[in-house]
């Protein structure tokens, strides 16, 4: 009996010992699992912090790139960040839902942690306004006779007043060309009659003409010579020179003589020395406009006939930009019909004469060996429905720019 009781007691003690050992193992396992969970949480926290810093750096890079004008898309970087966060391209389809969850977690972390403020600068789109020339056409007001043998190279308005008659009349100064036919003329605008004329030497081929004070200046072709006349009597005064290799058009702006030499440049000459003070290149957009022929200064613009074209360029003399084109094809066609009626078919019968009266704003046009001087109004293309239907800037540029 004693033995049996001892055995039972031993078994009870052994059972309690096993239970104690089991309980200890469970406690140790709990501690181990808790430690593992804490370690995993720490690793995830470090990973999230690292990814957040990476994202902040990328966004900061976007800010700097935008500041320097580099086109980096914020959405592209965010998408790549989400792919890296969830583990590759397979998670791209769930990017939207994952991004919401991650954004919520990140907002909580950002509320509890200090971080740099990220400013994304969105550069506004800048529209560059490109200036384009306006298009003008002509309305004929009156027609006047013109010497159809005059090879017109320079043309300007002059009002001649008589103290005896107490009246004034409209006159034109005109320069004509061709060797042996070069002259400076005073023409009655109303009748077309040549009232005074001075012929130049055979060797000169007359070109542009302008008045400066009491003198007339006439350029000549390919000689470099400039002929000077008395503006009242047309008496020849002297031969002088500019520093241009060639002479084409000539006008003035009350401070300089303005000349051309067949190219695309306006030369501003000192009226006393005839030396070039400065020059401006003429262009329509990025296209140079050359063959600037007979010139006229009109209300702050330089108007230039384009040689062998039915066009007049309206030029800003300060910049050289063509502000407008006057399309004169209808006027030229009208004149050529008259030439044909005279049995003439000259290929050089081109538009080449502009005269302007600043007091009345009247404008006259003529050409080489034209039989008519036309008083005209310059009007916008939109005022002519028939021409508006067939004419646009591209067409005008094709016709006017050589």
- Residue range 218-227, pLDDT digits in tens: 999 998 899 9
Give CA angle at 263 (260, 266), nearest 5°: 40
Residues in the chain with pLDDT < 50? 1-3, 7-8, 10, 59, 61-100, 113
Pairing of strands 372-380, 134-145: antiparallel
| DSSP string covering 11-29 | HHHHHHHHHHHHHHHHHHH
Name the nearest CA neighbour of 302 among 266, 344, 278. Answer: 266
Return the DSSP state at 321.
B
- Per the structure block, which two tokens stand in for 106? 């990140």
| pLDDT score for 129 | 60
Consecutive H or E run containing 106: helix 95-112
| pLDDT score for 175 | 99
Contact (Cβ atoms closer than 8 angstroms) between residue 166 and residue 191 = no
| pLDDT score for 130 | 67
- pTM more than 0.95: no
Q: Tell me the C-alpha distance between 176 and 186, whole Å.
A: 11
| pLDDT score for 12 | 56
Name the nearest CA neighbour of 322 among 342, 345, 306. Answer: 306
Q: Tell me the C-alpha distance between 228 and 391, whole Å.
A: 42
**Cβ neighbours of residue 16 closer than 8 Å, sequence gap 6 or more:** none
The single residue listed with the structure tokens 């990476």 is: 54
Contact (Cβ atoms closer than 8 angstroms) between residue 206 and residue 177 = yes
Q: Tell me the C-alpha distance between 96 and 90, whole Å.
A: 13
């Amino acid at each position: 009996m004693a033995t049996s009781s001892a055995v039972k007691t031993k078994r009870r003690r052994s059972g309690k010992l096993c239970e104690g050992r089991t309980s200890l193992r469970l406690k140790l396992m709990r501690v181990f699992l808790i430690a593992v969970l804490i370690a995993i949480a720490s690793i995830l926290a470090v990973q999230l912090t690292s990814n957040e810093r990476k994202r902040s750096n990328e966004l900061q890079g976007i800010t700097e790139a935008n500041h320097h004008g580099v086109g980096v898309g914020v959405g592209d970087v965010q998408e790549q960040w989400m792919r890296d966060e969830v583990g590759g391209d397979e998670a791209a389809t769930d990017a939207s839902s994952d991004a919401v969850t991650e954004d919520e977690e990140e907002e909580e972390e950002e509320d509890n942690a200090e971080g740099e403020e990220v400013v994304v600068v969105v550069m506004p789109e800048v529209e560059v306004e490109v200036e384009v020339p306006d298009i003008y056409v002509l309305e004929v007001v009156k027609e006047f006779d013109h010497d159809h043998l005059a090879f017109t190279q320079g043309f300007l308005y002059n009002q001649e007043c008589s103290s005896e008659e107490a009246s004034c009349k409209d006159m034109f100064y005109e320069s004509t060309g061709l060797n042996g036919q070069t002259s400076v003329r005073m023409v009655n605008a109303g009748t077309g009659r040549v009232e005074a004329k001075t012929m130049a030497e055979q060797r000169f081929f007359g070109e542009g003409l302008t008045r400066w004070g009491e003198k007339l200046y006439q350029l000549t072709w390919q000689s470099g010579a400039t002929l000077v006349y008395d503006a009242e009597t047309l008496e020849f005064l002297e031969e002088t020179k500019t520093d241009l290799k060639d002479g084409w058009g000539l006008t003035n702006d009350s401070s300089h003589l303005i000349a051309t030499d067949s190219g695309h440049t306006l030369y501003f000459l000192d009226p006393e020395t005839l030396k070039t003070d400065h020059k401006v290149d003429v262009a329509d957009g990025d296209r140079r406009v050359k063959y600037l022929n007979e010139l006229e200064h009109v209300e702050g613009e330089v108007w230039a006939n384009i040689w062998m074209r039915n066009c007049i360029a309206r030029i800003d003399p300060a910049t050289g930009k063509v502000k407008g084109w006057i399309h004169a094809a209808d006027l030229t066609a009208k004149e050529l019909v008259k030439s044909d009626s005279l049995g003439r078919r000259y290929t050089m019968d081109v538009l080449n004469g502009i005269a302007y009266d600043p007091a009345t704003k009247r404008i006259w046009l003529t050409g080489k060996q034209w039989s008519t001087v036309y008083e005209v109004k310059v009007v916008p293309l939109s005022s002519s429905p028939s021409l508006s239907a067939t004419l646009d800037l591209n067409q005008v540029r094709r016709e006017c720019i050589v």
